[in-house]
Amino acid sequence: MAEDVLCEVQNCKYWAKENHCSANSIYVVSHHGKKAANQEETDCQTFEPHH
């Protein structure tokens, strides 16, 4: 498992300084079922807007 998850989405609730992700777990999904052909076909479902 990854020990360090980086994220540049500064308006996410889990974004921490130096582009670290502070979420306990990360959920990434594919746009087309279970297989993605490239990065653009995936999304982070863990994202929550920072209020």
pLDDT of residue 3: 83
Domain residues of the chain, as ranges?
A: 1-51
HSE of 38, CA atoms in CB hemisphere, 13 A: 1
Contact criterion met (CB below 8 Å) for 21 and 7 = yes
As a whole number of Å, the CA-based R_g of the chain is 12
For residues 15 and 47, give the distance between their C-alpha atoms in angstroms, rounded to a whole number.
9
Strands 20-21 and 15-16: antiparallel
Amino acid type, 46: T
Q: How confident is the model at residue 6 (pLDDT cuts 50, 70, 90)?
A: very high
User: What is the value of pTM for the model shown?
Assistant: 0.82
